[in-house]
A and B are shown apart, each in its own frame.
Chain A
Amino acid sequence: MSIVGALGGYLKHFQFKSAVFNSSRYLAKCKDCAAMFPGVSGTWLDPVYINGQRTLATGAVQPSYFFEELVLGNGIGKLASGIVGMIKRVGFAAKGSTQGGLNLFKFGKPTTTTANSWRAGDRMLHLPNKGTPKLNWKQNSGFLRQEMSRGKPIFDSYLSPNGQQIPTGGFLNAERFLLESRGWRFNSATGAYHPPF
């Protein structure tokens, strides 16, 4: 059985109310996580990207918990380690009460690698390397547009302590520009881009 099939079957076992895999090959949002993980607030599984090679990518660079830990912690069972190893846990930061989301990041910056303030649902785009910056940007911008179509706030993790964006170049600047050119606006109070009014 393929990894996708194995995971899909495993998750369907818990009778998710929403479809497990949607048309965009994302793991669909689990609407009954509360039932699945009683006593654990802010848990979610959305979205884990499943790429064309039928392997699993993720999600968060700095997971607070792995899916396996949640599963084991709730006595539900254990996924095959090969699968679990690739599902880096998306979100569920124990400290945060506010819902997180996709975070734009600058590689190697402390604001990216420090997990102290991560909230439930915080994650980053982590996609397969296509070999060149140009191809990676094409892929990256495609996924960012896909995230934008969901209409949820998109956070910027390269910020000053007062919440303002730190000027930069490269991919992060291009991501900011892409959002702004589509009418998304940054709000320093939330540290996130919000969809057009």
Chain B
Amino acid sequence: MNFNKIVKEILGSILSLCEFTLNNESRGVIEYEHKLLLISITYDFTRSFELDVNFYFKANNESYSLAELKEYFDKEKNRFIATQILEDDKLKAWVVEVKMFLENHLYELIKDHVVICFELDSMRKQKTDFYNNERDERLFKEDVEKLWNNKDYVRLIKLVKNYKGNIDDISKKKYEYAIKKVS
């Protein structure tokens, strides 16, 4: 796949128009730099075949993915969908989509970069908290259930005592029962 060639052909002109210069290039990674931003287009060509665009803001030294920016600008909720492509035609279509996104938002991205990276950061914090809390709660319940089924009350007590998140009613009842059984 001619990833580097296709990306440069399709995105080179718009990025150059907005004063980005080709900063770095290696197989599967093309990086364009602006005084305020770095945009890298990546292709994991030896493993997952995932494509992404990373927007690195110099103002806060943070990088956000295309999915996060699409969520911010277009309210698209596709954070968990990875784009995996093997064929040149599909790659071209994807890069054209990226080009359209840049045509619609790059100017604003540069002009309001401080506000945008602040809001992206806050959005990421919110999403990250939700993701981590949801995972912790789900796995905690699974672990309680497993120990309960194994009648491993000592470990169940220890698990519940050490857990820092919200404990659901069923887990609480199992915990109370386990204490009675052990004492």
Contacts and interface: CB of A to CB of B under 8 A. Distances in A.
Interface of A: 107-110, 127, 129, 132-133, 136-137, 140, 160, 164-171, 173, 180, 183, 185-186, 188, 197
A181 to B, nearest CB: 9
A110 B81 CA distance: 20
Q: Is the interface of B mostly helix, strand, loop or mixed?
A: mixed
A169 B81 CA distance: 5
Interface string B137-149: 0010001001000
Q: Is the interface of A mostly helix, strand, loop or mixed?
A: loop
Nearest to B147: A197
Contacts of A127: 47
B86 to A, nearest CB: 7
Interface stretch (B13-21, B109-117, B120-128): B120-128
Interface residues of B, number: 36
Interface of B: 28-29, 40, 42, 44-50, 52, 54, 56, 63, 65, 67, 79-82, 84, 86, 124-125, 127-129, 131-132, 135, 139, 143, 146, 155, 159
Contacts of B129: 164
A107 B42 contact: yes
A165 B42 contact: no
Given A108-B54, A188-B132, A169 B80 contact: yes
B63 A110 contact: yes
A170 B84 contact: yes
Q: Which 8 residue pairs are nearest across A and B when measured between Cβ atoms? A: A170-B82, A108-B42, A107-B44, A171-B48, A169-B82, A169-B80, A167-B131, A129-B46
